[in-house]
Structure 1
Amino acid sequence: MEINANKTSLHKGLKMERLRKLRGMTQSDLASKLGVTKQAVSKLEQSENISDEKLKEIAKALEVTFEGLRDFSEEKVLYNTNNFYENCGVTATNISSNIENIHNPLKETIEMFERQLQAARKELIEALKSVK
């Protein structure tokens, strides 16, 4: 079991795929940046070994460092994510208590149109009164 986990952690194609997905990219997106076909990206993602030269190209296309791609592991991502949130003081309570302070242009736009509608109604009522 541990041998498989070790083999997976060394699988460069799998690291490439995981980072591509974390970056929100499709195989086609990455293929376009690399100047290759989607099928070539798929083949790379299935490769256990990728040359350092090719890995550097892929890292640049994924907008990560070569070392970041080479040393990538999901455990590191989880560890760094947990430490980031623990050390910056962000909690669900902080987020929910500040949600009302977020600038909401849609709400402001609706309120503006409601004020304009109210003013138009008043003008219409005044115009109807003067006709009588």
Structure 2
Amino acid sequence: MSTLTKNHIGRKISRIRELRDMKQEALALAMGTNQQTVSAIENSETIDEEKLIEVAKALGVTVEAIKNFSDEAAINYFNTFNESPNNYFGLTSCTFNPLDKLMETVDENKKLYERLLQAEKEKVKFLENLLKEK
């Protein structure tokens, strides 16, 4: 990025909008303005603070993020997701097999059911004994 581009706030807004997969029309709608105004903002080297706050809010970023944005920083940020071979798309891999955990749960439920069934059998036997005694 050239020195000229580094200080061009409109280009930074344009790049952030593109990275957020947003069209000028969508940004205009979020700002309550029209596409031509967004185009003019993106072609401006400087923008007043109030307008910058409005743009930042519509883009879902901070004013500082716009002011400090650079393509290199964005690339470096996304490259950090590839540092670990087990880390794809920012997700960590499972250290256990979910099916094994499911089967453990099924086995636990089966044991609990068997204990409950045994307790019911003992209760029936106890009640039968009480009836025989009377």
TM-score range, shorter chain: 0.5 to 0.7
Number of the residue aligned with 1:71: 68
Number of the residue aligned with 2:2: 5
CA distance 1:28–1:91, change in 2 (3 Å): closer
Structure 1: gaps (5+ residues): 93-97, 99-132
Identity among equivalent positions (%) equals 41
Task: Give 3-state SS (helix, strand or coil) of 1:8's partner.
Answer: helix
The structure that is helix-richer by fraction is: 1
Aligned residue identity for 2:80: N
- Structure label with greater radius of gyration: 2
Distance 1:24 1:7 in 2: 25
Distance 1:89 1:6 in 2: 38
Q: Cα RMSD between the aligned structures? A: 2.8
Number of the residue aligned with 1:34: 31
Residue from 56, 61, 64 that aligns with 1:59:
56
Q: How many residues align?
A: 94
Task: Name the TM-score, length of structure 2 as normaliser.
Answer: 0.61
Structure 2: gaps (5+ residues): 95-134
Task: Name the TM-score, length of structure 1 as normaliser.
Answer: 0.62
Shift of 1:64: 0.9
